[in-house]
Chains A and B, each alone.
Chain A
Amino acid sequence: MNKRLEEIVVENSDVIIKHWLEQVSEKRKSDYTSAISDELFRSTNREFINLIFSSVDKQGFTTELDDFSERLINLGWPLSYLTDGLQTFRRVTIDFILSQSEKIDSDRFSDVLDMVDKWIDPIINRLVNEYSGSWEHTVSLQRVALQELSAPLIPVMKNITIMPLIGTIDTERAKLIMENLLDGVIKHNSEVVLIDITGVPVVDTMVAHHIIQASEAVRLIGSTCILVGIRPEIAQTIVNLGIDLGKFPTKSSLRKGFETALELTDRKIVHSKEKDQTIENLLDSLDKG
């Protein structure tokens, strides 16, 4: 019985393909693939419908279909192109089979539906899995990239290190901050670490708590932690929250923090004479001119 139905479909693939292409192009007018050239759209459609037929023929998912979906994923075609295409195939095929039968009783009708479902559903499932697999993959790559970025430590000069924090701090990142800070202090033999929070959008009690703990830990291994880049609105919310940063060195800007770090390591910025002279010469020449 099912064999018969399959034959009907494969033998009449021309008509079914024609209907399918019509419907898919019709649908296109109002939708997502509008940025894709007509030619590419047409050739992709042809390839797609042929692959659907060959997987119906071979009773299962083929490697060609795998390659095809992988290519579409890489080109950034939406998953809905594939699922819509398959749903259209389902509709067109069912319509066609039913139009070929003179009399349709409910048994026959449900046989047809079952059989077409058996073709389509595994393909849809497979494609959805591929797509979500590739998203998960992307997300996990981005996660790694983000982790590398999340708590960088920059040894700016001997004994002075800066950790610029940009973006939201969640529990995972807070842990990384602590680890990197302690590792880095030891590795670079830092006497002073500047934590710059200019880029942290919200400093709530959790973030404050982690920063306090981190600086406490830095102090225990013999270094000093200076918190810099506290924006005025952040300073106000910290005060409102009732968090006491009193015993904690803070500076409004990285520049001021850096000057303090230099002092703490017995250094200071000296302007070189030569440069001053150049400027003086320049001013002199302007006067003369």
Chain B
Amino acid sequence: MDFKPCVNIRKEWDIVGARQLGREKAKEIGFGTVDQARIATAISELARNIYLYAGTGKICFEIVDDFEHKGLQIIAVDEGPGIRDISQVMEDGYTTSGGLGAGLPGVKRLMDHFDIISEVGEGTEIRASKWVR
């Protein structure tokens, strides 16, 4: 495991900052164009959810390099309202904001590993990783 750079999400343009840093990391690790696009899109979804539903939070990156996997982990953390029913928000089309409701299930499909921990009133932490093939 490597050091952990983070981007704070406070305003809409911070989403772009997080995306750029993530893409840079992905390029460094050796991901191809398609995976870079997948990673950038996943960051965009998670960062926008923070901006929309929690107000503020951060996106951190961890380079994974152990005997099992080599890749990038995105960690999205906020201290927002939390999610009551996780299986519900993981359904395609579920949205409370009139969006497409494809963000979270989409991130799960874009990435190789997806983990979500949330507590109502406490916040949400999502970890999503992609492995280099």
Question: Residues on A close to B: CB < 8 A?
Answer: 168, 170-171, 201-206, 208-209, 232-234, 236-237, 240-243
Interface string of B30-47 (1 = CB under 8 A from A): 000110111011001100
Chain A contacts of B34 at CB under 8 A?
232-233, 236-237
Chain B contacts of A236 at CB under 8 A?
34, 37-38
User: B106 touches which one: A168, A202, A240 (CB < 8 A)?
Assistant: A240
A and B contact pairs by CB, cutoff 8 A, 6 listed:
A204-B45, A205-B45, A206-B48, A233-B37, A242-B106, A243-B100
- Complex CA–CA separation, A234 to B34 (angstroms): 8
With contacts A240-B106, A240-B110, A242-B105 taken as known, whether A205 is within 8 angstroms of B37 at the C-beta atoms is no
Report whether A205 and B38 are in contact in the complex, using a CB–CB cutoff of 8 Å: no
Number of interface residues of B (CB under 8 A): 24
The B78-107 residues at the A interface (CB cut-off 8 A) are 92, 99-100, 102-103, 105-106
Interface SS of chain B: helix, strand, loop or mixed? helix
Nearest CB of chain A from residue B111's CB, rounded to whole Å: 9
Report whether A204 and B48 are in contact in the complex, using a CB–CB cutoff of 8 Å: yes
Report whether B33 and A204 are in contact in the complex, using a CB–CB cutoff of 8 Å: no
Nearest CB of chain B from residue A37's CB, rounded to whole Å: 37
Report whether A208 and B110 are in contact in the complex, using a CB–CB cutoff of 8 Å: no
Chain B contacts of A237 at CB under 8 A?
34, 37-38, 41, 110
With contacts A202-B19, A237-B37 taken as known, whether A209 is within 8 angstroms of B99 at the C-beta atoms is yes
User: A202 touches which one: B13, B41, B99 (CB < 8 A)?
Assistant: B41
- Complex CA–CA separation, A170 to B13 (angstroms): 8
Report whether B106 and A201 are in contact in the complex, using a CB–CB cutoff of 8 Å: no
Is B122 part of the binding interface, using a Cβ–Cβ cutoff of 8 Å? no
With contacts A201-B40, A202-B44, A237-B41 taken as known, whether A242 is within 8 angstroms of B13 at the C-beta atoms is no
- Complex CA–CA separation, A128 to B66 (angstroms): 49
With contacts A205-B45, A233-B37 taken as known, whether A168 is within 8 angstroms of B16 at the C-beta atoms is yes
Closest B residue by C-beta to A239: B109
Report whether B102 and A241 are in contact in the complex, using a CB–CB cutoff of 8 Å: yes
Closest A residue by C-beta to B105: A242
Interface string of B48-76 (1 = CB under 8 A from A): 10000000000000000000000000000
Chain B contacts of A242 at CB under 8 A?
92, 102, 105-106, 109
Report whether A240 and B38 are in contact in the complex, using a CB–CB cutoff of 8 Å: yes
With contacts A204-B41, A205-B102, A236-B37 taken as known, whether A171 is within 8 angstroms of B12 at the C-beta atoms is yes
Chain B contacts of A232 at CB under 8 A?
34
With contacts A171-B12, A205-B103, A232-B34 taken as known, whether A241 is within 8 angstroms of B48 at the C-beta atoms is no
